[in-house]
Amino acid sequence: MDIQENNQKWYSVLPLAFLVSIVPLIVYLKVVKLQGAAKVYWKGPSKSADLFSYYKMETILILSSIALLIMIIKLFKKEIEFKKNIIYIPMGIYGFFIVLSTILSEYKSISVLGFVERYEGMLILLAYICIMIAAINVLNTKKQYKVITIALLCSAIFIGIIGVLQYFGNDPFKTDFVKKLILPSKYENAKMNFYLGENVIYATMYHYNYVGSYMAMLFPFTMTLSLLIKDKKYKIPMIIVTALMFINWIGCNSRAGVIGGVFALVMMIILLRKVLIKNWKIVLGSLAVVVIIIFGMNKASDGRLVSRLSSIVSDAGDLSKAKGSYLKDVEIKDGKVYVYTSKERLSFNLVNEKIEFKDENDKKIDTKITSNGKLVFNDDRYKEYVGQVGKTYTSSGEETVLTLIKAHTHLKFALKDNEAKFINHKKQEVDLKKVEKFGFEGKEKIGSARGYIWSRSIPLLKKTMFIGNGPDTFAIFFPQDDYVGKVIAYGTDNMLVDKAHSLYLQTGINTGVISLIALLAMFLIYFVSSIKTYFKNEFNDFYSVLGLAVFLACCGYIVAGIFNDSVVSVAPVFWVLLGMGISINLKLKKQRSGRIE
The Cα 466–Cα 512 span in angstroms is 6
Whole-structure pTM value = 0.92
Residue 15 has pLDDT above 90, yes or no: yes
Q: Single out the residue in 430, 450, 476 at which a domain terminates.
A: 430
CA–chain centroid gap for 199, Å, is 20
- Report CA torsion sign: 65, 70, 74, 80: negative
**Residue 315 maps to a domain:** no
Residue-wise pLDDT for 402-427, tens only, equals 898 887 788 999 888 788 889 998 88
What count of other Cβ atoms lies within 10 Å of the Cβ of residue 228?
18
Domain tally, the chain: 2
**Residue 500 maps to a domain:** no
* CB-based contacts of 12, cutoff 8 Å, min separation 6: 70, 74, 138, 144
**Residue 124 maps to a domain:** yes
Q: Which of 526, 574, 522 lies closest to 88 in space, CA to CA?
A: 522
Q: Which residue has the higher pLDDT, 340 or 352?
A: 340
Q: Which of 447, 458, 573, 574 lies closest to 516 in space, CA to CA?
A: 458
How far is it between the farthest Cα atoms of the chain?
93
Residue 114: left (phi > 0), alpha (psi -120 to 50), or beta? left
Query: Mean pLDDT over residues 439-449, rounded?
Result: 87
Query: Mean pLDDT over residues 491-502, rounded?
Result: 90
**Residue 182 maps to a domain:** yes
Residue-wise pLDDT for 298-338, tens only, equals 887 777 787 777 777 766 666 666 566 788 899 999 889 99
Residue 376 has pLDDT above 70, yes or no: yes
**Does 359 lie in the same domain as 261?**
no
The Cα 262–Cα 313 span in angstroms is 13
**Does 217 lie in the same domain as 83?**
yes
**Does 279 lie in the same domain as 186?**
yes
Looking only at the bridges linking them, the beta strands covering 385-394 and 374-377 are: antiparallel
Report yes or no: 417 and 352 within 8 Å, Cβ to Cβ: yes
Instruction: Report the pLDDT value the prediction gives residue 316, as an integer from 0 to 100.
Output: 65
**Does 20 lie in the same domain as 78?**
yes
Q: Which of 83, 204, 252, 243 lies closest to 573 in space, CA to CA?
A: 204
Start-end of H helices in 8-118: 14-21, 36-41, 54-76, 88-103, 108-113
**Does 232 lie in the same domain as 138?**
yes
**Does 157 lie in the same domain as 89?**
yes
> pLDDT band at 108, cuts 50/70/90?
very high
Looking only at the bridges linking them, the beta strands covering 397-406 and 47-50 are: unpaired
Instruction: Report the pLDDT value the prediction gives residue 164, as an integer from 0 to 100.
Output: 94
Residue-wise pLDDT for 151-201, tens only, equals 999 999 999 999 999 998 899 988 889 988 999 988 877 777 766 667 789
> pLDDT band at 243, cuts 50/70/90?
very high
State which residues form the domain around 231: 3-302+511-592
Q: Single out the residue in 430, 455, 470 at which a domain terminates.
A: 430
Query: Mean pLDDT over residues 246-268, rounded?
Result: 93
> pLDDT band at 597, cuts 50/70/90?
very low
**Does 331 lie in the same domain as 289?**
no
Q: Single out the residue in 371, 401, 430 at which a domain terminates.
A: 430
**Residue 484 maps to a domain:** no
> pLDDT band at 596, cuts 50/70/90?
very low
Element (H, E) at 532: helix 513-534
Instruction: Report the pLDDT value the prediction gives residue 214, as an integer from 0 to 100.
Output: 97
The Cα 576–Cα 569 span in angstroms is 13
Alpha carbon distances (Å) from 575 to 61, 191, 430, 432, 564:
14, 35, 44, 42, 16
**Residue 437 maps to a domain:** no
Q: What are phi and psi of 324, to 5 degrees?
A: 60, -160
* CB-based contacts of 211, cutoff 8 Å, min separation 6: 159, 163, 201, 202, 203, 205, 248, 252, 254, 257
Report yes or no: 163 and 252 within 8 Å, Cβ to Cβ: yes
Percent of the chain with pLDDT over 70: 95
Instruction: Report the pLDDT value the prediction gives residue 71, as an integer from 0 to 100.
Output: 95
Q: What is the DSSP string of 100-157?
A: HHHHT-S-HHHHHH-STTT--SHHHHHHHHHHHHHHHHH--SHHHHHHHHHHHHHHHH
Residue 475 has pLDDT above 90, yes or no: yes
**Does 285 lie in the same domain as 414?**
no
What count of other Cβ atoms lies within 10 Å of the Cβ of residue 10?
15
First vs last Cα of the chain: how many Å apart?
6
The Cα 376–Cα 367 span in angstroms is 6
**Residue 70 maps to a domain:** yes
Report yes or no: 424 and 483 within 8 Å, Cβ to Cβ: yes
Instruction: Report the pLDDT value the prediction gives residue 594, as an integer from 0 to 100.
Output: 65
**Does 334 lie in the same domain as 294?**
no
**Does 156 lie in the same domain as 204?**
yes
> Mean pLDDT across the chain, nearest whole number?
89
**Residue 505 maps to a domain:** no
**Does 263 lie in the same domain as 190?**
yes
**Does 296 lie in the same domain as 338?**
no
Residue-wise pLDDT for 514-563, tens only, equals 999 999 999 999 999 999 999 988 888 999 999 999 999 999 999 999 99
Instruction: Report the pLDDT value the prediction gives residue 199, as an integer from 0 to 100.
Output: 78
Instruction: Report the pLDDT value the prediction gives residue 270, as an integer from 0 to 100.
Output: 94
